[in-house]
Structure 1
Amino acid sequence: MTEFTLHTVDSAPQEAKARLEGAQQKMGFLPNLFAKMAEAPALLEAYQTLDEIYSRTSLTPAQQQVALLAISSVNGCKFCVAAHTGGAQAAKVPEGDIEKLRELQNPDDPKLNAVARFAKHLVQARGWAKDDEVKAFLEAGFEKQQLLELVIAVSLKTLSNFTNHIAGTPLNEELKSLEWQDPRD
């Protein structure tokens, strides 16, 4: 495997330094994902910008985190599953639903179930959503807007999941208690 630098604020390319500093101040630590993304400052900017845009969608914070956790689990991204487990906890997603997502199942909560199911379907179908899946999502009480906003979630997780797979991103110590083992392994 090709080695990628786990950058610090000091070692990062100049164009990434301010973004790393901001993340470190906001989160209290520097996520290793950002430390790896710093190798390509445009990637780090794209991820952080899209993440901020995604946070402003009409999906609730819990629905946003469920989509990100579902996508990351389907993609087998251990770093992002751990990170979004924490995000889902902060967004008050029921613990049982978080565990189901980590086990590659769908939540019990009907709305969260619809979000997870459709987000995973988008990934697995490579965007070629089947009419019955679209219909099921809309019948769960969502609008076309939210259906399309899940495309943002898939895009966001494509950036991070693929980076983690390519760069071999290690889990931060701060996330160790949320470590995930892919049940398919």
Structure 2
Amino acid sequence: MTDFTFHTAETASDASKPLIAAAKSAYGFIPNLLAGMAEAPALLEGYMTLAGIFNKTELNETERQIIMMTNNRLNGCTYCMAAHTTISQGAKVAEDVIAALRNNTAISDPKLEALRQFSIAVNESRGWVKQHDLDAFLAAGYTQQTVLEVILGTSLKVMSNYTNHITQTPVDSAFKANAWSADESEAA
């Protein structure tokens, strides 16, 4: 496999340097995902911008993490599952929700479970969701706006999950305590 470069503030291109600096300021370190994306400044900028936009949706932190972690699991992204588990814990997402997302089990809250199921439907159908999936999601109390925000979150995860697969991004030490593998999820 090709060895991809994970950039530092010193090795990043001029176009990536301010983005890397912003990431270091926000997180206290440069996450390996962003260090890898720095090879393509447009990807790094696109990902960071889209992440900021996703945070402006009507979805709360738990709902956003449900969308992202569901996609991470379905896409088999070990890096993002570890990172988003840590992020979810820091954001006080309920432990039972985090466990359900990591283990592919139902969330006890019916509305949140409807969001998880709809996120699965969007990912697995590549957006060609069945009418009954859409109807169930709307019946759970979500809106047409939320339908489209699920697509936004799914798009964000395509960028990061696919980057991690290709670059074989190593999990940062800040996330290692929450390491995850698809094998563990299937065993649960």
The alignment's TM-score, normalised by the length of structure 2, stands at 0.95
Whether 1:147 aligns to 2:153 is no
Q: Which amino acid aligns with 1:90?
A: G
Q: Which amino acid aligns with 1:79?
A: Y
Q: Report deviation, 1:25.
A: 1.1
Whether 1:24 aligns to 2:6 is no
Residue 114 of structure 2: aligned partner: 114
Stretches of 4+ aligned residues off by more than 6 angstroms: none
Whether 1:2 aligns to 2:6 is no
Mean CA deviation greater in 25-34 or 91-100:
91-100
Q: Distance in 2 between matches of 1:115 and 1:141?
A: 10
Structure 1: gaps spanning 5 or more residues: none
Q: Report deviation, 1:107.
A: 1.5
Residue 43 of structure 1: aligned partner: 43
| Preserved CA contact (<8 Å) 1:7 1:35 | yes
Counting only pairs closer than 5 Å after superposition, residues 1-185 of structure 1 correspond to structure 2 as: 1-183=1-183, 184=186
| Preserved CA contact (<8 Å) 2:61 2:93 | no
| Preserved CA contact (<8 Å) 1:79 1:171 | yes
Q: Report deviation, 1:91.
A: 3.0
Q: Which amino acid aligns with 1:127?
A: G
Q: Which amino acid aligns with 2:31?
A: P
Q: Distance in 1 between matches of 2:152 and 2:91?
A: 19
Q: Distance in 1 between matches of 2:87 and 2:141?
A: 24
Q: Report deviation, 1:89.
A: 1.8
Mean CA deviation greater in 115-124 or 45-54:
115-124
Q: Report deviation, 1:74.
A: 0.7
Q: Which amino acid aligns with 1:12?
A: A
The alignment's TM-score, normalised by the length of structure 1, stands at 0.96
Q: Distance in 2 between matches of 1:68 and 1:116?
A: 10
Q: Distance in 2 between matches of 1:61 and 1:100?
A: 16
Q: Which amino acid aligns with 1:15?
A: A
Q: Distance in 2 between matches of 1:25 and 1:56?
A: 20
Q: Which amino acid aligns with 1:147?
A: V
Q: Distance in 1 between matches of 2:57 and 2:11?
A: 34
Q: What do you get for the CA RMSD once the two structures are aligned? A: 1.2
